[in-house]
Structure 1
Amino acid sequence: MSMMQDMLKPPAGLGFDFTTPPGEPALVRADGVTWRVFANPVTMFIGGVAAVLLEMAEPSVRSGVWEHSSFRTDPGTRLRRTGFIAMITVYGARSRAAEVIAHVVGIHDRVRGTTPDGTPYRANDPRLLDWVQATATFGFTQAYHRFARPLTPVEQDAAFAEGQVAARLYGATGAPRSRAEWDRLLAETAPRLEPSEILGEFLAIMNGAPILPRWARGMQRLLVRAAVDMVPEPVRSLPQLRGEGLRFGESLVVTALARAAMLAVRPDSPVAQSRRRVGGG
């Protein structure tokens, strides 16, 4: 399971010390649901892939991600970088996390273009930011709920509420504050969600990219299938995802992996460092 814990390490050029400044709280409360959810590398991987699938079904987000990121050329580094910035947002000291978010917002401000049908988009459009924030919270929380430990309705609501401070810093001022608000946003966005060959290309990249060691590629493909399996409708029925979910009995294997990951938190992990910073041991 240490190879999955390695997914939480910073990529080259993105060092970050979660232990400083001593005593400073994070943007997300340390005793909340989100700190537990983000500590599990197995469900983080599953939830991250599920979130990207939902984002890629939205044409403006899809164009921005596919045209302005390195998913196609270096998916491993891109995935680690995105995941590590999410860790900073959740566990990093409030002042330092805000600086990182401001830097990301500045980069995104230069991301703009048009979709294949000629619709203009910009990455910092609040409507798109709300969707990206919502899909991330849903993906990580639902993966944990399904494969690691069931979350009560109250805990699921709390996961959305706990992300509000960071969401506003990113510019996602209308991000869902509860599971019910996520359900409403999904229903409102559903008419714009559409099939794309890029969805199939993304799945192929995630299945074959050297993200985990070669001997663990079977597990990598299993976790990608788990992500497809938990994606909600109408996206799960899109042609590129149809038949790509879990096979008979595989849900039990994924659950075993996710629960094992809960028992193996390393002392150098973001959550362990952050607990030391805030005085939680």
Structure 2
Amino acid sequence: MAKVDVRAQVRDALFARVAGPDGPRNRARIHDTAGPRWFAPDSAIQRVHGDTSMFVGGLRALLLQSLHPLAMAAVAGHSGYRGDPWGRLQRTSTFLAVTTFGTADDAERAVATVRGVHARVRGTAPDGRAYRADDPHLLTWVHIAEVDSFLRAHQRYGARPLDEAGCDRYVAEAAVVARELGVPDPPRTRAELDAALAAYWPELRGTREAREAARFLLLTPPIPWPARVPYGVLAASAVAMLPAWTRPQLRLPFVPVVEATAVRLAGRVLVKAVRWVMTAPAG
């Protein structure tokens, strides 16, 4: 009887969810194609984006980004996150992989595709304000929310957290991609990142669309029942890293003692388990 490699099966199933049906082909192209790249193998951005802490950071980024009414209006009106949430995740993960690990030519093509999509996304928010996805102000918000979330998750759950200089390198390297996407003056250090986030706080609030997105992401995600428990740990870990003032905006609980102990421990166990699964040897 053939031996069943459960670890490899779980790895392949998880990779298929995150990367989609073209995942294996994209992975081979990204990592095996010869040519110059935007970032070196020892870069901070490759360390952060290659770690399984990104599962936590990605969910935290979506929740944080939803607090900008215009950014959330664009997502609600154009992204199809309810009808095709896995497709959106797969497109985002592929873009991150290509720009972080792929050749410069592939990265430039990926950026051009995203910029083309952004140029077509425009509309009017429920509060009557016009928005467009290529607005430099909104692009900056999306960028800094992502970078802050990815870095915080890595520092808490990553296999090899960065030192202070490494954190600054990560922010500076992420700025390379941001500039290509149309962000005019992205932060280049962690201090600049913190200042940029603080400048946006007065614009943020929990709209009905943001609260609906949070409920969808945290309570009713389209995942099989056996995955609900680990996903619940992932969700709790992401929520625990949000600023405390955002919780009532999204109608999320705030239990500091539990989050600092049980949630953080469970998050570490989960991220380590996912890391172990994703590094299963090829069959």
What TM-score comes out, normalization by structure 1 length?
Answer: 0.85
The residue type equivalent to 1:253 in the other structure is A
Alignment pair present for 1:218 and 2:267? no
Alignment pair present for 1:18 and 2:10? no
Specify whether residues 8 and 196 from structure 1 end up closer, same or farther in structure 2 by C-alpha distance, changes over 3 A only: same
The residue type equivalent to 2:187 in the other structure is P
Q: Which structure is higher in RCO with an 8 Å CA cutoff and minimum separation 6?
A: 1
1:233 Cα deviation after fit = 4.8
1:74 Cα deviation after fit = 2.0
Task: Tell me, yes or no, if the aligned pair for 1:76 and 1:209 is still in contact at 8 Å.
Answer: no
Task: Tell me, yes or no, if the aligned pair for 1:200 and 1:240 is still in contact at 8 Å.
Answer: yes
Task: Tell me, yes or no, if the aligned pair for 1:47 and 1:227 is still in contact at 8 Å.
Answer: yes
Give, in whole Å, the separation in 1 of the partners of 2:226 and 2:179.
Answer: 41
Aligned partner of residue 121 in structure 1, secondary structure: strand
Alignment pair present for 1:69 and 2:82? no
Moved over 6 A (4+): none
Within-5 A mapping of 1:46-57: 46-57=56-67
1:59 Cα deviation after fit = 0.9
Task: Tell me, yes or no, if the aligned pair for 1:229 and 1:236 is still in contact at 8 Å.
Answer: no
Structure 1 residue runs of 5 or longer lacking an equivalent are 269-281
Task: Tell me, yes or no, if the aligned pair for 2:17 and 2:86 is still in contact at 8 Å.
Answer: no
Residue 186 of structure 2 is matched in structure 1 by: 175
Task: Tell me, yes or no, if the aligned pair for 1:111 and 1:123 is still in contact at 8 Å.
Answer: yes
Give, in whole Å, the separation in 2 of the partners of 1:111 and 1:267.
Answer: 42
Residue 97 of structure 2, aligned match among 59, 84, 87: 87
Task: Tell me, yes or no, if the aligned pair for 1:50 and 1:230 is still in contact at 8 Å.
Answer: yes
The residue type equivalent to 1:29 in the other structure is A
Specify whether residues 98 and 117 from structure 1 end up closer, same or farther in structure 2 by C-alpha distance, changes over 3 A only: same
Q: Larger Cα Rg: Structure 1 or Structure 2?
A: 2
Alignment pair present for 1:192 and 2:203? yes
Aligned partner of residue 113 in structure 1, secondary structure: strand
Residue 203 of structure 1, aligned match among 202, 210, 214: 214
Alignment pair present for 1:105 and 2:118? no
Cα-Cα RMSD: 2.4
* Larger helix proportion of the pair: 2
Give, in whole Å, the separation in 1 of the partners of 2:251 and 2:138.
Answer: 22
Give, in whole Å, the separation in 1 of the partners of 2:228 and 2:178.
Answer: 34
Structure 2 residue runs of 5 or longer lacking an equivalent are 1-9
Task: Tell me, yes or no, if the aligned pair for 1:40 and 1:261 is still in contact at 8 Å.
Answer: no
1:66 Cα deviation after fit = 0.9
1:78 Cα deviation after fit = 1.4
Identity of aligned residues (%): 33
Aligned partner of residue 253 in structure 1, secondary structure: helix
What TM-score comes out, normalization by structure 2 length?
Answer: 0.84
1:134 Cα deviation after fit = 1.2
Residue 146 of structure 1 is matched in structure 2 by: 156
Give, in whole Å, the separation in 2 of the partners of 1:58 and 1:102.
Answer: 25
